[in-house]
Amino acid sequence: MTDQLARAARPRSDPRGPTDRFEVAVIGAGLGGLCVAHRLDEIGVHDVAIFERDEGVGGTWRANGYPGAACDVPSHLYSLSFAPNPHWSSTYAGQPEILSYIEDCYDRFAIREKVRLSTSIDSARWSDERQSWTLSDSGGEEYEATILVSAIGLFNTLSEPVIEGIRDFGGTVFHSSRWDASHDLTGRRVAVIGTGATAIQVVPAIAERTEHLDVYQRTPAWILPRKNELFTDEQKRAFAADEGALRGHRDELYELFEHNTAFISGSPFSELLAEVARSYLERKVPDPELRARLTPDYPLGCKRVLVSSDFYPAIQRRDVELVTDRIERITPGGILTSDGRLRECDTIVLCTGFRASEYLSGIDVVGRNGERLHDAWSGVPRGYLGMAVPGFPNFFMLYGPNTNQGGNSIILILEGQAQFVAATVESMRALDASSVDVLPESMQSYMDELAGALEKTVWRGGCASYFRADGGQIVTQLPHTSKWYCDRTMQFHPDDFEITRQGSAGLSAMGDKC
């Protein structure tokens, strides 16, 4: 290792010692981890370790293997810009195909060799003296890194409902993201709790197998039709033979989604999509009573807009019932609702999503002066560009607070964030810096700008959603386009950071100690 950052992270004697040391440590081997490792490779930073708690790479696409799991962004747009895929089978790829694509990318770009599987990082502690992070895993092993990147994403902490009697249920209960593939649903009476993005995929996928299926809905969703067409062999061969045509198709999809301003209050596009959704519901659900129960009473976009062409047909099957009465409690044999009816079931599937607003839940991140990240946030996650927090030097988050889009593919945001991490490393080298820490005033300026933009969005409408922290603050959503965000993350802005240079007091102390 010859670069200054790597030398700063390692003692001069025994370059590996009892603790593994890296220039960059990444937590999470999903698409975010892939993006940042690839971008760092491109600028010559190869001393990178990716820690993954699961047994394989893929992140959320490995964890969520429930029946019907698929992406609601077109496949060619839900692809990395540096790894276009001419072989997608259909407009909207399913979970097995997306996972296969991610695994192939880890192999194709030689990133899998950087991954440490089945390694759950529980804590990370910054040292001003050593100018580095010390990471600890659940097995007690420690690692050291100059730069720490969280790429664990938004959807990794399960939201499990607190319902009286659930522990006394006599049948089988599992969360959709912990799908029990060994539990055959054929001929069973099944209850699905939730009608969000997961449930509208699970319900059609299992309805034909179950003897009876109850679907418990708390709030109806805005649903747009999804036209999922298979790509012909001829189309796939054409894409494979002409990368320009492949990228052109992706660019067309990008432009279509980039101009989606439905998240802006009063946007004509929002009303257009709402009319499409209302018309679709009216065409597909002729029963006025059922249609009324499936009709949202909040503005489109206030909660996540869903995309499905098989949920409405599934919910109208004779052996499927939509239940809108409140769940009172769960008994050993079924679910009792507020109308006094006990619906028997032997399996309960919790399609209740994630605690998306609880960023880095389960990881104790400790910055300068022993301050914990979760204490610094006080229940309201925030970050400069959604990536950096004052008092936590050399620490960056991918898919952090307020970086979830209202319009385009999250892939674009992840690539923009990977670019920012790479630009920061390059700037640190050029400035002979051992650490960078975003200034509180820079953070506040960005948050003020963000707050002003959020006031103009439908997310401020007051409906309950995972977009909000417990106090009601919007902490997940980005009120701008992907281009706006990628322009802001194109380069490192040194004036926004406190920069500690090599040979400063902190680094000298580290050298003396070693």
Last-in-domain residue among 293, 327, 350: 350
Report whether 229 contacts 90 (CB < 8 A). yes
Residue 510 token pair = 């580290």
Selection from 130, 153, 20 nearest residue 511 by Cα: 130
Q: Which residues contact 69 (CB under 8 A, 6 or more apart)?
A: 94, 95, 198, 201
Same structural domain for residues 291 and 272? yes
Report whether 256 contacts 262 (CB < 8 A). no
Task: Give a yes or no: residue 239 inside a domain.
Answer: no
DSSP H helical segments within 349-481, as ranges?
Answer: 373-377, 410-430, 440-454
Hey, is 304 helix, strand or coil? coil
Last-in-domain residue among 350, 383, 402: 350
Residue 242 is predicted with a pLDDT of 96
Report whether 264 contacts 412 (CB < 8 A). no
Task: Give a yes or no: residue 254 inside a domain.
Answer: no
233-256 average pLDDT score: 96
Residue 369 pLDDT greater than 60, yes or no:
yes
Last-in-domain residue among 350, 372, 393: 350
Say how far apart CA 46 and CA 62 lie, in whole Å. Answer: 25
Same structural domain for residues 443 and 505? yes
Residue 209 is predicted with a pLDDT of 97
Same structural domain for residues 295 and 324? yes
pTM for the full predicted model:
0.92
- Which tens digits make up the pLDDT trace of 124-175? 999 999 999 999 999 999 999 999 999 998 888 888 899 999 999 999 999 9
Strands 132-137 and 121-127 come out as antiparallel
Same structural domain for residues 291 and 390? no
- Which helix (H) or strand (E) element contains residue 336? strand 334-337
Same structural domain for residues 421 and 398? yes
Same structural domain for residues 394 and 455? yes
Residue 153 is predicted with a pLDDT of 86
Same structural domain for residues 413 and 442? yes
Task: Give a yes or no: residue 79 inside a domain.
Answer: yes
Residue 128 is predicted with a pLDDT of 96
Residue pointed to by tokens 């010692």: 17
Task: Give a yes or no: residue 253 inside a domain.
Answer: no
Rg, the chain, Cα only = 24
Say how far apart CA 481 and CA 471 lie, in whole Å. Answer: 26
Task: Give a yes or no: residue 243 inside a domain.
Answer: no
Same structural domain for residues 372 and 441? yes
Say how far apart CA 271 and CA 324 lie, in whole Å. Answer: 26
Task: Give a yes or no: residue 234 inside a domain.
Answer: no
Say how far apart CA 77 and CA 69 lie, in whole Å. Answer: 17
Residue 230 pLDDT greater than 50, yes or no:
yes
Say how far apart CA 438 and CA 393 lie, in whole Å. Answer: 7
Same structural domain for residues 344 and 372? no
In CATH, what number is assigned to the domain containing residue 69?
A: 3.50.50.60
Q: When comparing pLDDT for 361 and 98, which is higher?
A: 98
Using 50, 70 and 90 to split pLDDT, how confident is the model at 507? very low
Q: Which domain holds residue 182?
A: 166-222+264-350
DSSP 85: -
The pLDDT mean for the chain works out to: 92
Task: Give a yes or no: residue 199 inside a domain.
Answer: yes
Selection from 401, 431, 410, 413 nearest residue 492 by Cα: 431
Say how far apart CA 163 and CA 148 lie, in whole Å. Answer: 38
Task: Give a yes or no: residue 395 inside a domain.
Answer: yes
Say how far apart CA 138 and CA 410 lie, in whole Å. Answer: 30
Same structural domain for residues 171 and 149? no
The number of folded domains in the chain is 2
Beta strands in 287-360 (DSSP E): 306-307, 320-323, 327-331, 334-337, 342-344, 347-350
- Which tens digits make up the pLDDT trace of 310-330? 999 999 999 999 999 999 999
Same structural domain for residues 299 and 327? yes
Hey, is 136 helix, strand or coil? strand
Same structural domain for residues 150 and 10? yes
